[in-house]
Amino acid sequence: MNDIKQSKDISKRRALLKDRYFNKSLYCCTANDYSNGRTNIEVVSQMLDAGVIIIQYREKNYKSMREQYNECIEIRKLTKKYDALLIINDYVDLALAVSADGIHIGQSDLPIEVVRNIVGYDFIIGLSTSNREQILNSINTTADYIGIGPIYSTNTKKDADAPTGVEIIDYINSFDIPFVCIGGIKFDNIEELYKHNAQSICMLSDIVSSDSIKLKCESIIQKIKSY
Instruction: Determine the Cα–Cα distance for residues 181 and 26; give it in Å rounded to an integer.
Output: 10
Query: CB neighbours of 52 closer than 8 A, spacing ≥ 6?
Result: 26, 27, 28, 84, 217, 221
Contact yes or no for 56/43 (Cβ under 8 A):
no
Residue 12 CA: distances (Å) to CA of 8, 55, 86, 110, 217: 8, 22, 20, 24, 29
Instruction: Determine the Cα–Cα distance for residues 56 and 84; give it in Å rounded to an integer.
Output: 10
Residue closest to 151 by CA, chosen among 88, 89, 112, 200:
200
Instruction: Determine the Cα–Cα distance for residues 44 and 55; give it in Å rounded to an integer.
Output: 7
- R_g of the chain computed on alpha carbons: 16
CA atoms within 13 A on the CB side of 224: 24
Q: Using the 8-state DSSP alphabet, how is residue 178 labeled?
A: -
Give the pLDDT of residue 84: 98
Residue 185 CA: distances (Å) to CA of 26, 51, 181, 205: 12, 19, 8, 10
Give the pLDDT of residue 221: 98
Predicted TM-score of the model (pTM): 0.95
What string of pLDDT tens digits covers the 227 residues of the chain?
Answer: 888 988 999 999 999 999 999 999 999 999 999 999 999 999 999 999 999 999 999 998 778 999 999 999 999 999 999 999 999 999 999 999 999 999 999 999 999 999 999 999 999 999 999 999 999 999 999 999 999 999 998 776 666 678 999 999 999 999 999 999 999 999 999 999 999 999 999 999 999 999 999 999 999 999 999 99
